Amino acid sequence: MDNTLITNVMLKAQQWLDGAYDENTKAEIRHLMENNQKELIECFYTDLEFGTGGLRGIMGVGTNRVNIYTVAMATQGLSNYLIKNFPGKKLSAAIAYDCRNNGQLFAQKTAEVFAANGIKVYLFDSLRPTPELSFAIRHFACQTGVVVTASHNPKEYNGYKVYWEDGAQIIAPHDKNIIAEVRKISSISDVKQKASEGMIHSIGNEVDAVYLNRLETVVKGKEYISKVADMKIVYTPIHGTGVELVPAILKQIGFNNIYGVDAQNVVDGNFPTVQSPNPENADALQMAIDKAMEVDADLVMATDPDADRVGIAIKVNNQFLLLNGNQTGAILSYYMLNTWKEQNLLQGKEYMVKTIVTTELIAEMAKAFHVEYYDVLTGFKYIAGIMRQNEGKKTFIFGGEESYGYLAGDFVRDKDAVMACALIAETAAWAKNQNKSLWDILMEIYAKYGYFQEDLVNVVKKGKEGAEEISRMMQNFRDNTPAKIGGSDVVMIKDYLNSETINLKENRRENISLPKENVLQFITEDFTKISVRPSGTEPKIKFYVSVKIDLAKSENFEAAQKCAREKILLVKSDLAI
């Protein structure tokens, strides 16, 4: 083992033992020193990275763990940046937390450090969804906000997500500038912790009511709901923050039969009923599907711990089928476009937004309805960036990403599963009014715009050698573009790192106006799209594959599906993934 590494770890651990840290923390450090050097190294070998979105990591003692001290130091750095960025202004911040273990503790510490820096704090009195935090920032005209969450990560994790005054997650230049300020905080002694009295304000149900009332304004089809108000819906929060507000909004817009999953309505950061609290995973919805079979429900919905993403299952031939994020986003887009058109709301200034790895089906529908659409980099903060750019000039209809995040309306600036659950249920009611199911609507979409099938391949490459290999893979794709992929000629390359589109058929180059990011896309003659990007949070490189098959009749769906699967397999073979 590297002696220099051990020496540095022991030095950092001793600094904590000698510093102004609580006795329980010091006792845990001593225990690790005496009994578990390997874990001690993990806790202290580096400083937990404050990334472009904030902190996320395993909870525990040490510089490389999420604890009250790393949270306090991050908040001090953020406070310093706010004071520099808004000179002479009375500053305020909103804070929320989800069901994660220690969530309330970390939120309280964040509030205390803000307050000690003269920043007024609006602190939710109990767990709340991430999108409500986004709403609260705008509602109280704050300059920033923090939500303590690790989204759908395993139970050992927690995190700290930072928002700006528009209610969106931080983007350039603020992200890098905040990181620079956080890195200047080298010790807990650099943190102000004595708050003036009256600087922390508890907020609760009164904000919930305003938030839900604003969500209700997004609902355009109450007449559809009223005709099928007894439609049966099963919803699970998977032990998280949606437990109160999702059933509340469904009832508020007119649904009468909402069934919960008792075992998963228990707020618990250990997530005892699932392997992972991720609505993308089939097992996370299994208990809800079992309940739906028992009560003969029409729809199953499940939100992640901080209720910003939602997964659904729909009834097909008396069985429940899980939809992926692209399919749900397509159905919601189709409903919104149709409803806005029927109600004469399309006036020529409306727009939609999706990420570059999300299904092209949404773009096809927007074009058909003569609605402008934008492609943005992966991450909902970029969707929010387009909303900020168009504020007061154009009207936002809908935004979505393949990773189960959706938004309508402009008063929240992050993906909102509370809102999405209302829209999904409303869309199901719209279908039921036509004697159709959501599956029928999906088949209708495919018949009109083509059958799109997507697949995601994660290639894991761990450690320093893995990171170097991922870098070589990306460079190799740039230097040696495949001539054919999946049996079709590559006709276009989009290189987001070099900010250019290369049209191979016309031998023409154009600039890409999006921020630089290490992403490559290959588009073939038959509309197959392959996106390649290293993960920003995990040791892996991601391959997003999308293929399109014409589907003249919904009866041909199975044949189209088989053809799409074969094409995706061919693409994977060609790329050796």
pLDDT tens for each residue of 150-197: 988 899 999 999 999 999 999 989 999 999 999 999 899 999 998 888
92-98 mean pLDDT: 98
The tally of CA atoms less than 13 A away on the side-chain side of residue 5 is 11
CATH topology of domain 218-446: Alpha-D-Glucose-1,6-Bisphosphate; Chain A, domain 3 (3.40.120)
CA distances from 243 to 182, 194, 267 (A): 34, 35, 8
388-407 mean pLDDT: 97
The answer to whether domain 48-203 and domain 451-575 are alike in fold is no
Active site residue 276: no
How many Cβ atoms from other residues are within 10 Å of residue 215's Cβ?
A: 27
pLDDT for 195:
82
Q: What residue has token string 């996370």? A: 284
Instruction: Tell me the pLDDT tens digit for each residue of 203-255.
Output: 999 999 999 999 999 999 999 999 999 999 999 999 999 999 999 999 999 99
Q: How far is CA 286 from the centre of its chain?
A: 22
How many Cβ atoms from other residues are within 10 Å of residue 509's Cβ?
A: 12
Question: 48-203 — its CATH code?
Answer: 3.40.120.10
Beta pairing partners, 210: none
Q: What residue has token string 């599906």? A: 561
In whole angstroms, what is the distance from residue 57 CA to residue 548 CA?
A: 38
Domain residue ranges of the chain, discontinuous segments joined by +: 1-45, 48-203, 218-446, 451-575
pLDDT for 454:
96
pLDDT at 501 > cutoff 80: yes
pLDDT for 537:
66
Candidates 443, 444, 427, 386; CA nearest to 410 is: 386
DSSP code of 257?
A: E
Instruction: Tell me the pLDDT tens digit for each residue of 251-274.
Output: 999 999 999 999 999 999 999 999
Candidates 44, 18, 129; CA nearest to 421 is: 129
* CATH number of 451-575, picked from 3.40.50, 1.20.120, 3.30.310, 2.60.450: 3.30.310
pLDDT for 16:
96
In whole angstroms, what is the distance from residue 529 CA to residue 521 CA?
A: 7
Q: Residue 241 burial by CB count (10 A; 0-12/13-18/19+): exposed, middle or buried?
A: buried
pLDDT at 555 > cutoff 90: no
- Provide the pLDDT confidence category of residue 552 given band limits of 50, 70 and 90: confident
Candidates 207, 299, 307, 232; CA nearest to 267 is: 307
pLDDT for 554:
66
CA distances from 150 to 47, 130, 305, 446 (A): 18, 11, 8, 35
For 26-42, b/e burial (b = at least 16 CB within 10 A) is bebbeebeeeeeeebbb
CA distances from 384 to 111, 392, 411, 432 (A): 25, 14, 11, 32
Beta pairing partners, 97: 148
pLDDT for 550:
87
Task: Decide the pairing of beta strands 529-534 and 500-503.
Answer: unpaired
pLDDT for 372:
98
- Provide the pLDDT confidence category of residue 49 given band limits of 50, 70 and 90: confident
Give all strands (DSSP E) within 448-524, no chain letters.
Answer: 451-460, 484-485, 488-495, 500-503, 508-511, 520-524
Q: What residue has token string 């909870």? A: 59
Instruction: Report the mean per-residue pLDDT for the chain.
Output: 95
More confident residue, 300 or 558: 300
pLDDT for 197:
87
Catalytic residue among 79, 92, 151, 333: 151
13-37 mean pLDDT: 95
**Which of 353-357, 453-457, 557-561 is predicted with the least confidence, judged by mean pLDDT?**
557-561
pLDDT for 1:
56
In whole angstroms, what is the distance from residue 147 CA to residue 129 CA?
A: 9
Asked if 150 and 158 count as a contact pair (C-beta separation under 8 A), the reply is: yes
**DSSP run (H or E) holding 399:** strand 395-401
DSSP 94-110: EEEE-SSTTHHHHHHHH
Candidates 385, 464, 358; CA nearest to 174 is: 385
Instruction: Tell me the pLDDT tens digit for each residue of 454-480.
Output: 999 999 988 778 888 999 999 999 999
**DSSP run (H or E) holding 93:** strand 92-97
Asked if 273 and 239 count as a contact pair (C-beta separation under 8 A), the reply is: yes
